[in-house]
A and B are shown apart, each in its own frame.
Chain A
Amino acid sequence: MRLINLNAGRFSPLLKILPFVILGLVYWIAADARHALNPEDKLLPTFEALGDAIKTMVMEPDELTEEPILYTDTIASLTRIAKGLGIATAIGLILGIVQGTLPLFRSLLSPFSAAISLIPPIAILPILLVVFGMEESAKVALIAIGVAPFLVRDTQQRSMELSEELLIKVQTLGASTWQIIVRVVLPHVMPRLLDALRLSLGSAWLFLITAEAIASSEGLGYRIFLMRRYMEMDVILPYVAWITLLAFLMDWVLAVIIRKAFPWYRKEK
């Protein structure tokens, strides 16, 4: 039988977790081997050491904040990423629809926002730090500036996908420009914008961790870079796994929202 016709069938769940199990096994063997040579090895901590570190991070209150550090860091990072993405989504929605639906504004703004989108966001991080200092706004602004141009351009494209016939049709139904935007363009664009947002989660986290590494006093990215100085891999590795899990959950939540709020969207395809 050809490979393209082979399905996992009932073994599918098993296959899905297999790579994770292999990764864990490889790590275990490697950590064990290193510890056999040097019991003080810090590079690949044993599962036991990892467990202890996680326990400390989750259970023991920090001297300064009186909260466990994982809790403080997670709240700080999630707040920043939520604010940043919220602002980026609002900019993407408004500018994207304006540029996509109104030819006059497309002429005015489209080349400008295309040029802006080519600025590497990290390159303007120093400017943001000069302007906002160590305040939260610098980090939020970096995420917003990093993600917004993609959302603007994607939303513009999506608005322009609407067929000429459909736009003519809605005009023959007596719609004003505003009504066309509210009743036709917005519903068309919303689920697609959320899809685009899912795609930008990766870069949002990238910008967040960069900003936290450079200018912060708490947060997941800050902690990883702080721990690097002491080579505390037993903290860094669980943090990386935790960030990955958070990113995965955000993606999943967005997918669920799209499915529940826009039931027609998948059917349309």
Chain B
Amino acid sequence: MSYLQIRNVWKTYDDNVILEKLNFTIEKGEFCTLIGPSGCGKSTFLRMLLGQDTPSRGTILLEGEPLSAEPGSDRGVVFQKYTLFPHLKALENVMLGLEMEHSPLLGKVFGSTRRRIKEEAMAMLESVGLEQSALKYPSELSGGMQQRLSIAQALVKKPKILLLDEPFGALDPGSRADMQELVRGLWKMYGLTAFMVTHDVKEAFELGTRLLVFDKVRHDPQAPNAYGATVVNDIKLDKNKRKNKGEENVEKYETTIA
């Protein structure tokens, strides 16, 4: 049985069909990159995986179980907009998820549990290279550092799948390259199963083990919303060939997206 099964999933808002006939499976440890023109439903698909939205038709199964209809700790997320807690220092931002697990009432722990959680969070901060900034508030960190922190915050909960919604969209090219390197490293280290929506075709080819291209197959000029997008291309990216293949295909798909 596959890790994640997408079975005939449709998403419609009133008469507008956003996504249609999504049918594919994802194995554990795959890094899926999602590309496609804007407004083609990539983010909607991610929202459904997250539980922020539910499919209008069809089902999504994670390890054979239907996804719960609200976000939960089995699915971690990193958004493009920095979603850090401004009143907590970097270390506390990472500790929060662990603290809430141990203290239902206060969401805050003390004593030996706190020390243990602190160590775990610190190790997580180290793996994203933020150990120097552990005691800084998010507002004192640069955009790239904030995204690193956001990733650490999500990973410390050891989610079954990690969802990345254009996580590097707001970063300058330098930090972007660093972040890609970091995410690749973390994916290998933790054996993550990840979905990443991106607009950067090169990034999609380089980071992913599998590339899903979303687009509309059918067009009705009289009713532009009558048909939704679906996965038009499902490319398995071979690790060894990935780099070369990426270079070749970037141009081809960049025109599709534009």
Contacts and interface: CB of A to CB of B under 8 A. Distances in A.
A48 interface: no
Q: Which of B70, B72, B85, B106 has the most CB of A within 10 A?
A: B85
Interface stretch (B73-81, B177-185, B190-198, B216-224): B73-81
Interface in A42-94: none
Nearest to B140: A267
A184 interface: yes
Interface in A138-193: 163, 165-166, 168-176, 178-179, 182-184, 187-188
14 contacts: A165-B81, A169-B83, A172-B50, A173-B96, A173-B97, A173-B157, A174-B101, A175-B107, A179-B100, A182-B106, A183-B85, A183-B107, A264-B88, A267-B139
Nearest to A180: B107
Given A174-B100, A174-B157, A163 B81 contact: yes
Contacts of B83: 163, 165-166, 168-169
B3 interface: no
A265 B88 CA distance: 11
Given A168-B83, A182-B106, 19 more contacts: A165-B79, A168-B52, A168-B77, A169-B153, A170-B96, A171-B71, A172-B71, A172-B75, A172-B157, A174-B97, A178-B105, A182-B107, A183-B100, A183-B108, A264-B86, A264-B88, A267-B86, A267-B137, A268-B137
B139 A268 contact: yes
Contacts of A163: 81, 83
A175 B81 contact: no
A172 B77 contact: yes
Interface of A: 163, 165-166, 168-176, 178-179, 182-184, 187-188, 262, 264-265, 267-268
A264 B139 contact: yes
B121 to A, nearest CB: 12
A176 B107 CA distance: 9
A188 B76 CA distance: 23
Contacts, number: 84
- Nearest first, the 7 closest Cβ-Cβ pairs linking A and B are A174-B73, A173-B97, A171-B71, A179-B107, A187-B87, A169-B83, A183-B107
B86 to A, nearest CB: 4
A170 B104 CA distance: 14
Given A173-B153, A175-B107, A179-B104, A168 B87 contact: no
B120 to A, nearest CB: 14
Contact of A188 (B70, B75, B87, B108): B87
Given A173-B153, A262-B87, A168 B100 contact: no
A200 B154 CA distance: 40
B81 A168 contact: no
Q: Which of B87, B108, B140, B159 has the most CB of A within 10 A?
A: B87
Given A168-B50, A168-B52, A173-B157, A264 B104 contact: no
B131 to A, nearest CB: 20
Contacts of A173: 73, 96-97, 100, 153-154, 157
Contacts of B105: 178
Interface string B96-140: 110111001111100000000000000000000000000001011
Given A179-B107, A183-B108, A264-B137, A172 B72 contact: yes
